[in-house]
């Protein structure tokens, strides 16, 4: 039973959302675009600085590196968790899902500070290692890249687990049975059926993780070392400290372009992946 809505109804139903987006998303975004080319008159100074500055280039490379690293780790961890969750009965899954969601509901600032207790010189991990080995451990896991990637992976996990789990749960169970009857082992079933069919969830997870981590701000500030500055930290600096909105808008537009490019690239991969089927 499918309802068909008249075009007029569709327009009326979409209007509130469209108005909301226009007012709270497109309009501010337009203002950012405007101030990136306007500072008491038209100017391309912001973009010139973005393109010409070695600082911004270096921070851009940092941002991409950290985002990719954090996304890879959360993909590996997230996939394993999603696989495990998907194999459970719904009743058993519920409490585990809450555990996945719990950090999702916690403020990122709180989580970042909490990690200083875990990763620190006299933190839980180092103490545990010392207790096990009977010596003292001073693994440097904080104020460097490790700290940033651990903190961000923790933040990104739910965004990876949920879409992957959804696409795993959507798979037709009779495919596994058929494969098993035909003599395929667990690894073969995973590689030939489970993994390919879960790719839409993987893409969605990667996309969300990459876009979220490119705008990350608190985690690198709290857990990072001096080399772990990201673009959002620069935007914050130029917006609030020096009031150079022209430059900060230009950096923001650069960040937006990169996210857009990513969206486009993943869309391409997804489409090409589907094409032969």
Partner 1 sequence: MKKHDLQHHSHATGVRSGTRQDGGVTRRTVLKAAAAAAGAGVAGWAPFVRAQSRTLTVTCWGGAYETAVRKAFAEPFAKEKGVGVTLVNSADLTRMKVQVQSKNVSWDVFDSIGPQIMAGSREGLWEDFDASRIDGKELVLPPGKDHVSTYFYAGGIGFDPKRFPEGKHPTTFKEFWDVARFPGRRGLRSRPNENLEMALLADGVSPDALYPLDIERAFKSLDRIKDDVRKWIETTPETVTLLATNELDFTYTYLSRVLPAQRGGQSVQMSMTQTLNSFEYLAVPKHGRNTELAMEYVAFCLRPDRQAAFCEMVEFAPNVTAALESLSAEARQRIPDMKDPNSIIIDDAWWGEHYEALQRRFTEWMLL
**Tokens encoding 198:** 């879960």
Burial 99-122 (b: 16+ CB within 10 A, else e): ebeebeeeebeebbeebbebbbee
Distance (Å, whole) CA 215 – CA 203:
19
5 touches 13 (CB < 8 A): yes
CB of 29 to partner 1, least distance (A): 17
Q: Per rule CB under 8 A, is residue 30 in the interface with partner 1?
A: no
The end-to-end CA distance of the chain, in Å, is 29
Tokens 């879960």: give the residue: 198
Binding mask 192-221 vs partner 1 (x if CB under 8 A, - otherwise)?
-----------------------------x
Binding mask 101-140 vs partner 1 (x if CB under 8 A, - otherwise)?
---------------xx--xxx------------------
Give the residue with the Cβ less far from partner 1, 112 or 211: 112
Residues 217-256 that bind partner 1 (CB under 8 A): 221-222, 225-227, 229, 234, 237, 239-244
Give the residue with the Cβ less far from partner 1, 149 or 218: 218
Distance (Å, whole) CA 257 – CA 268:
16
Question: Which window, 58-66, 153-161, 194-202, 249-257, contacts partner 1 (CB under 8 A)?
Answer: 58-66
Instruction: Give the phi and the psi of residue 38 in degrees, each rounded to 5.
Output: -135, 125
Distance (Å, whole) CA 264 – CA 257:
10
- Tell me the sheet residues that pair with 42: 38
Binding mask 61-100 vs partner 1 (x if CB under 8 A, - otherwise)?
-x--------------------------------------
Site residues, partner 1 (CB under 8 A): 53-55, 58-59, 62, 116-117, 120-122, 142-143, 221-222, 225-227, 229, 234, 237, 239-244
């Amino acid at each position: 039973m499918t309802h068909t809505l008249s075009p007029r109804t569709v327009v009326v139903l979409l209007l509130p959302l469209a108005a909301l987006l226009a007012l709270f998303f497109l309009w501010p975004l337009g203002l950012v675009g405007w101030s990136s080319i306007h500072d008491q008159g038209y100017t391309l100074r912001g973009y010139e600085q973005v393109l010409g500055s070695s600082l911004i280039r270096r921070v851009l490379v940092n941002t991409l590196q950290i985002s990719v690293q954090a996304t890879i780790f959360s993909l590996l961890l997230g996939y394993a968790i999603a696989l495990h969750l998907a194999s459970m009965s719904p009743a058993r899954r519920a409490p585990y899902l809450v555990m996945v969601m719990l950090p999702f509901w916690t403020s990122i600032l709180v989580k970042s500070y909490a990690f200083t207790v875990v990763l620190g010189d006299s933190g839980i991990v180092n103490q545990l290692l010392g207790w096990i080995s009977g010596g003292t451990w001073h693994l440097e896991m904080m104020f460097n890249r490790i700290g940033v990637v651990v903190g961000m992976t923790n933040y990104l996990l739910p965004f990876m687990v949920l879409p992957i789990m959804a696409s795993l749960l959507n798979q037709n169970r009779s495919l596994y049975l058929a494969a098993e009857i035909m003599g395929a082992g667990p690894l073969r079933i995973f590689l030939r059926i489970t993994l390919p069919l879960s790719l839409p969830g993987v893409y969605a997870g990667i996309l969300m993780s990459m876009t979220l981590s490119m705008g990350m701000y608190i985690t690198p500030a709290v857990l990072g070392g001096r080399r772990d500055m990201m673009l959002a930290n620069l935007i914050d600096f130029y917006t609030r400290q020096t009031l150079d909105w022209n430059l900060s808008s230009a950096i923001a537009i650069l960040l937006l372009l990169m996210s857009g490019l990513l969206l486009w690239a993943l869309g391409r991969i997804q489409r090409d992946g589907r094409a032969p089927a």
